[in-house]
Structure 1
Amino acid sequence: MSNINVLTTEESIVSNLMRNPDLLGKLKMKPEMFSDNDIRNFIQYVMDKGKVDATEIYYKSREDKNFMSTKRLSDLFNSDGTSKVFFMSDQLNLLENYVINQAAKQTSEYQASPNRTNFKYLIDQLQELNNMTIEKDNPTDAYLMQVMDNILSDKPKEFIKTGIGAIDDLIIGFEPGQINVLGARPSMGKTALVLNVLWNITKEGYPTTFFSLETGGDNIVERLVSSMTNIPLHKIKRGDGMSDDDTTLVMHAIDQIKKHDNLKIEDKAVVTPQDIRQVAMQHTDKPHVIFIDYLTLMQSDTPQKDRRLEVEKISRDLKIIAKETGCVIIPLSQLSRGIEGRQDKRPMMSDLREAGGIEQDANMIFFLYREDYYDKEIADHESGRSDVEFIIAKNKDGETGTANLQFYKKTQRFYG
């Protein structure tokens, strides 16, 4: 983290070559195109050798005082300031600077001695500079290689599991770059469910952030502690009526949450996509999973008069953020009251409030349905247990269907 965003474009190219020797075959820039003398010598050396061997390079550095210092080599090798995906764009940026600088130099030399011969030479030089290009790799090749690696690798492709078996059996898990929406009517259990999922994901080492636009941060912690300890939420809220064992469990749960510094709870009244982007862009070793409770309370960075269009803009912005940063965004959404007028009150995608863009942008759309939410006579008031249908209404890369869960409302705990 300490070295991030401090590399020059030229240093980024060297750092990438040191960390990823296979990139040498994609190096299109010539040594003379680099302005940094140390880097120019480095590029010349690896091109002459036809390979990037860190050990040989370090020996070269120790023996040749005119070569790049071992300290600078180590700093570039250990830097987090670049990635393989930037290797070609760095070269394109460097080439553009080189062309502009050379054009300015050639023009200046002509102005020092303007005549027809030098003018013709200048035109030829500028034309040659203008023709300099670097062919971009076909992105399809990279996608094909990625799929081949996934299939042939001994290590299976990594999915971010929810930790609830019945759900994971159907969706396999979340993947980087996804936006997955969970919708339900108020008090159906959607916040409790995502807090269960959030804690399961946090324990697996993934960075998680929970944006709470409706509920205070202390209330979110109370609900999380209740689900972790199986102590009724009303006891934790009152702060009395708990046994010594209950108190010990609560203190242990709070300590566990504090120890997992990869978990952040953001209690803000106003959240825009830019707030989400700032969190998503933080450097992490694993994909960041961001929960938003809930989507239709967000505000756009560019407010619009039509609220429906504004929500569509928010949804699209979140999709772009997820794709660009590789994070997973899980917004919660309220559903329209139109459900109440139907005989079958199981949610459909058209029930998403101000839905338009959400339906289109989401990779997966989930709904919760409880029969006892509408039929109070079958509610189990003693245990607080409810049978919940977790409905997968949309799944771009897999099957739809329903997972059967059990929800214990008193302790905010889901099983399945």
Structure 2
Amino acid sequence: MMHAEQAISLELAEKSLLGSMLAENYLIMDSSLKLDHFTATHHQLIFSTMQELASAHKSVDYITLMTVREPMELGGANYIVDLKNYANPTKFNEYAEILFTHWQQVTKQQILAQAQQENWTIEKIQTQLDSITDSDTQLETSITNALVEAANRPYEPSSAKSGIHTDLRDFDRMTNGFQDGDLFIIAARPSIGKTDTMNHFAIHAGFKGYLPIIFSLEMKRELLIDRMIAATGNINRLNLRDPYTTMSDAQKAKWTQAIGLLNNAKIQIDDRPAMTVPQIRATARKLMKQYPDRKPLILIDYLQIIRANNPKDNQTQQVGQISRDLKQMAREFNCPVVCLSQLNRGVEQRQEKRPVMSDIRDSGNIEQDADVIAFLYRDDYYDKESESKNLLEIILAKHRNGPTGTVTVAFVKETGRLLNLDWNGQR
């Protein structure tokens, strides 16, 4: 028997899921929810009607629902309209998991009761229980198709998969670009150039027709946009404080041109603070549906301030879970996820300031989960008399599918631009 509190919780979760699907139609077909996961009969009917409309590529709202079914079958017209008040797309996955877990428990009890009545064998019981552990019945495990596709590779020109390139020649040569399904961690101490590096990746991905989606948990979007204008237009950032009085006509023309280029790049910025990975996933999914012709590149600033789902865990456990969730998101969306990370203060205490793996703050499972870990280092940040002025080292410390090593690029602090060095090291 279901407790009254549990029944209320399930009813509210179901209302929120249905309301979220009314608000964001893409959730209807993207989720792994099934009819049996809903406990209320009218909710099952609402969900099946939504699926019917979505499968026919029709809009799903309270009006279209009532053109397919009698309103009273669905709980009444007012009930359907009221569902939107329960919409919470950012918690969609969390509430779907509540329904799925409850369905698993109920189904397990039914299986065990039937097994006892009919004296099933242990093997049959195990088979039935295994069938409810995963809701995905379309799982492809055979390697035959992949082997067929691989058969001709030695006899054809190389088809090595090229990822999203950054226009940093040596970096792209070592990584072959940002690869689908990979998690990239870019780590550095504050003020080294993490945000400018992220902006460079986003801008050039946008120029190439990809969809850069930035989650800026620390910096407001207005400041981030100003930095992008400066980098794109090669404008000194000091002029951005009062462009009307400090910029020449030529600089203002560059400003206008930069804005046009950035607008065409379709860069998306969500600057809500203290977001969780499920919130990031929900927003990214929505934007991917909005721009179906553009391959996404997800960029996050930065890992240690993503809010954990379980605040009772210690910081290392929280960050470890977040890194696992980010890697899972990269695989789920089949796109690169680039996440900035802070380094601990231990770097500052050493004579050699170049970061190493143990310097990653609250590292948890970051080293295990990431496909690529790159550190940023500037010698002139620590030594004002350094001969390596305006040079940024990108140290590839981990590369699951390629070489490690150091790439050096020019870094113009005044504009936030990253540029290639020519063959003799001159900018």
**What is the TM-score of this pair, normalised by structure 1?**
0.65
Whether 1:245 aligns to 2:253 is no
Q: How far did residue 296 of structure 1 move? A: 0.4
CA distance in 2, matches of 1:186, 1:360: 24
Q: How far did residue 413 of structure 1 move? A: 0.5
User: What amino acid maps onto 1:334 in structure 2?
Assistant: Q
1:317 alignment counterpart: 325
- Does the aligned pair in 2 maintain the 1:280–1:325 contact within 8 Å? no
Q: How far did residue 258 of structure 1 move? A: 2.3
Alignment partner for residue 140 of structure 1, among 127, 139, 143? 143
Alignment partner for residue 206 of structure 2, among 202, 207, 215? 202
Q: How far did residue 257 of structure 1 move? A: 2.0
- Does the aligned pair in 2 maintain the 1:295–1:331 contact within 8 Å? yes
CA distance in 2, matches of 1:149, 1:279: 40
Change (3 A) 1:319 1:150: farther
Whether 1:219 aligns to 2:223 is yes
Alignment partner for residue 363 of structure 1, among 347, 363, 371? 371
User: What amino acid maps onto 1:364 in structure 2?
Assistant: V
Q: How many residues align?
A: 308
1:92 alignment counterpart: none
Q: How far did residue 327 of structure 1 move? A: 2.1
Aligned residue for 2:330, secondary structure, equals: helix
- Does the aligned pair in 2 maintain the 1:150–1:156 contact within 8 Å? no
Q: How far did residue 137 of structure 1 move? A: 5.0
Alignment partner for residue 263 of structure 2, among 245, 258, 262? 258
User: What amino acid maps onto 2:409 in structure 1?
Assistant: L
CA distance in 1, matches of 2:147, 2:164: 22
Whether 1:406 aligns to 2:410 is yes
CA distance in 1, matches of 2:203, 2:357: 27
Alignment partner for residue 334 of structure 2, among 322, 326, 343? 326
CA distance in 2, matches of 1:288, 1:319: 15
Aligned residue for 1:336, secondary structure, equals: coil
- Does the aligned pair in 2 maintain the 1:287–1:326 contact within 8 Å? no
Trace 1:20-35 onto structure 2 (pairs within 5 A): none
CA distance in 2, matches of 1:308, 1:218: 32
Q: How far did residue 4 of structure 1 move? A: 5.7
User: What amino acid maps onto 2:162 in structure 1?
Assistant: E
Aligned residue for 2:367, secondary structure, equals: helix
CA distance in 2, matches of 1:148, 1:250: 52
**What is the TM-score of this pair, normalised by structure 2?**
0.63
Change (3 A) 1:3 1:377: closer
1:186 alignment counterpart: 190
Q: How far did residue 396 of structure 1 move? A: 0.2
Alignment partner for residue 360 of structure 2, among 352, 356, 359? 352
CA distance in 2, matches of 1:270, 1:414: 29
Q: How far did residue 152 of structure 1 move? A: 6.3
Aligned residue for 2:182, secondary structure, equals: coil
Aligned-pair Cα RMSD in Å: 3.9
Q: How far did residue 378 of structure 1 move? A: 2.7
Whether 1:295 aligns to 2:272 is no
Which segments of 5 or more consecutive residues in structure 1 lack a partner in the other structure? Answer: 9-74, 80-126
Q: How far did residue 138 of structure 1 move? A: 3.5
CA distance in 2, matches of 1:6, 1:191: 36
Larger Rg: 1
Change (3 A) 1:148 1:393: farther
Change (3 A) 1:77 1:147: farther
Q: How far did residue 210 of structure 1 move? A: 1.0
Change (3 A) 1:149 1:238: farther
CA distance in 1, matches of 2:315, 2:139: 41
Aligned residue for 1:139, secondary structure, equals: coil
Trace 1:6-405 onto structure 2 (pairs within 5 A): 138-145=141-148, 147-148=150-151, 157-239=161-243, 240-261=245-266, 263-282=267-286, 283=289, 284-378=292-386, 385-405=389-409
Deviation beyond 4 Å, 4+ runs, structure 1: 2-8, 75-79, 133-137, 145-156
CA distance in 1, matches of 2:418, 2:277: 29
Q: Identity percentage over the alignment?
A: 33
1:65 alignment counterpart: none
Aligned residue for 1:281, secondary structure, equals: helix
CA distance in 2, matches of 1:149, 1:307: 49
